[in-house]
Every structure is written in C-alpha cells, then in structure tokens.
Amino acid sequence: MTWVLPFLYSDRRGKYAPKEAVKSTYRRQRAVDVLFLRLSVKQVMIQVEGLTKYYGDHPAIVGLTFHAGVGEILGFLGPNGAGKTTTMRILTGYMPPSSGTARVAGYDVVDQSLEVRRRVGYLPETVPLYPEMSVVEYLEFMGSLRRVKKLDERIEAVLEEVSLEERAGSFIGNLSKGLRQRVGLAQALLHEPEVLILDEPTIGLDPAQIIEVRKLIQEIGRSRTVLLSTHILSEAQQVCDRVLIINHGEIVVEDSPGNLQAQLAGAERLIVVTASETAELARLLERLPGVAEVKQGMNEGEVQVTCTAGNDVRPLIARKVVEAGMDLLELRPVGVSLEDIFLQLTREEAAPPVEA
C-alpha cells in the first residue's frame, strides 16, 4: 500500500479511497487472526481481507474481512442494499474491488481471475436461463462454454445431484420457478467447482420449493464451500454453519447462529400461563427475587417474565404459583431468535450519531 496524500491511499490496483474507509480493517486484525486459527483445521477456501468497493463516492462495502473453509456453509445476512451482492460479484471475478484483497482456493480474484472462475460456481439472484432450450441443451451449452471434460457424464451426474433426471428433456420455459432454480444450480455445479456462491437462492419460491432448495444446499455443502446470501433469517438459521451479518457495507457480527443466540440473548425470558387473572399473577411474580420485569401476555392469565442474568427462577415460580392456589398451565423459556439479533444489530448500526 502506498500513501500518496494525507487523506488518500493507493493499493496495487491503482484505486484511491478516503483513509477513513479502511480504518475498520486494522481494528479487525486481531479477530481475523483468531478466526484463521479456528479454521486452520480446514483448508481456507475463501479469504477476504479489508475488501472495499466504491461506486463513485458511495462506499458499497468497507473493510470486509472474513474466511470460509472446506465443507462450510457461510451465510451472508443483511438487509437489501447492505453490500451482499457487491461482495459476491467481486468474489466471482465479475468486478474488481477498490481496495483490499480476496482469494478463492488460494487464487487472487484480480490477478488470477481466470483461475478463480474455474473454481467457482455462481448462482445469481436472477438466473440467466434460455426458456426455448431443454434442460439438457442448456447444460450442454454451458458445459461447452466452460470446456467441461466428459460433458455427457457430468450432465448426468449433476442432473442426479439436483434431482432433475426426469425433466432433462423438458423446455426450461415450461418448468416451475423451483425447478428452474434447480437448473441454475446444475449449471453452477457442472464444472465441479470447489466453491459455490449463491445469491438469494430461494427468493420468489413457494414454501415447498424453499424447503427442497434448502435441503439441496445442505447436501451440496457437505463437500464444498458455500457462500449463501439471504435476508431471510430463518434460512440462515436452518442452513448455515456460520453467519456474517452485514449492514451499510460493514460486518457487524460473525459467528454460528447458536453462538449468536447464546451470546446476545441476555437475561432469560419465561412465559407463565395460569388459570387465574393476569393482574393477580403479575402481582405475585413481581415480588419474587431474580425477577426483573413482568409483562402482560397475549391471553388472560399469561405473563412474560424477564429474569436477571444468571438466575433460573423457574422452580421458584412454579412453587409460588401452586402455593398461591393457582393452576399452573404452562411454564417455558422464550428463546432469542436470529431475527431478534438481526434487528437489534442493524438498528444499533443505523442509529444516527448524537450531535454535540
């Protein structure tokens, strides 16, 4: 990196950007080192450090740093316009970054773009299909462009992998959207890529089709590295081994869905339901040690109890409710969902600065 002016820097690509745009890169370095050690047991297939992209003066992504290993499904989670598609286009060689580095299977996406493209299968949000072609004709066409060896064998293999053997001769224009999405996955897998990049793969599908595509992605992810972008929180929770939440072009948190829930859950919340009146139940529970707050629930006789951190008050609540002569119908914890975490983090990031 070469400094050319006090407020600008230039990288080896000759691009310039404000110095503030990459400050987060340096702040993340220690976290990067820890993550690299955690992934050392696996081969690192995607390695991104300080990735920044400007459209004119507008920063689409700023200082992104993350890794993904073999056999890992990494979820790229964020609201529309957060920078997910921009990052994926850089990783597939579609466009260069303004600064920072990205390597796929050990190859630089700028200096060794052709090597990267040989190793990446890409399913964009809008799949480029030809409705007048049959499924087989389309795969033959895509395979010839990629110069796939033993093409007939590969077509047979991917059709089986995505469960399209029976529709091989069907015209793409006559297929449902879910089946067309499978055709898109087939072309992405045709050249046996080591890395699969999927941009909103279930968008526009009905519930049954979504379940089918998610199962397929999980099966594919057993032997490949999958980078999956989505703004559907349940999808990331069900499919991904690890998630990155991105907002305004920056990563705000990174971990497994389970760890995120455990770390950000805070105080435990409980739902208590009795056959008594809500007000009477609330008065009883508010006086108990370890109870921070009691809120009215959705139904009569139901309350939501927030406990102070580290206190399991369920036995105490059950005992006191019974001693008070109330019929206890339900006592259960309320887990924090990935949606709660996502909304909390993106709202915090979006909060405007307080002016002095």
pLDDT at 41: 41
- What's the pLDDT at 342? 66
Per-residue model confidence (pLDDT) at position 253: 85
Instruction: Supply the pLDDT for residue 175.
Output: 94
More confident residue, 10 or 342: 342
Phi first, then psi, for residue 325 (nearest 5°) are 80, 15
pLDDT of 257 reads: 79
pLDDT at 336: 57
Most confident of 137-146, 281-290, 313-322: 137-146
Q: In this model, does residue 35 exceed pLDDT 90?
A: no
pLDDT score recorded for residue 264: 55
- The pLDDT score that the predictor gives to residue 46 is 95
User: Angle 56-104-16 (CA atoms, 0-180°, nearest 5)?
Assistant: 25
In terms of C-beta density within 10 A (0-12 exposed, 13-18 middle, 19 or more buried), how is residue 7 classed? exposed
- Looking at per-residue pLDDT, the higher value among 242 and 2 belongs to 242
Predicted confidence (pLDDT) at residue 216 exceeds the cutoff of 80: yes
Average pLDDT over residues 340-345: 65
Q: What gap in Å lies between CA 11 and CA 9, rounded to an integer?
A: 7
How much is the pLDDT for 58? 93
pLDDT value at residue 109? 96
Tell me the whole-structure pTM to 2 decimals: 0.68
- Rounded to the nearest 5 degrees, what angle is found at the Cα of 298, between the Cα atoms of 294 and 304? 25
Nearest-5° Cα angle at 50, 108 to 225: 55
**77 falls in which pLDDT band (50, 70, 90)?**
confident
Give the per-residue pLDDT at 203: 81
Residue among 202, 180, 60, 182 nearest 125 (CA): 202
- Nearest of 335, 270, 277 to residue 307 by alpha carbon: 270
Kind plus residue range of the DSSP H or E element containing 8: strand 8-10
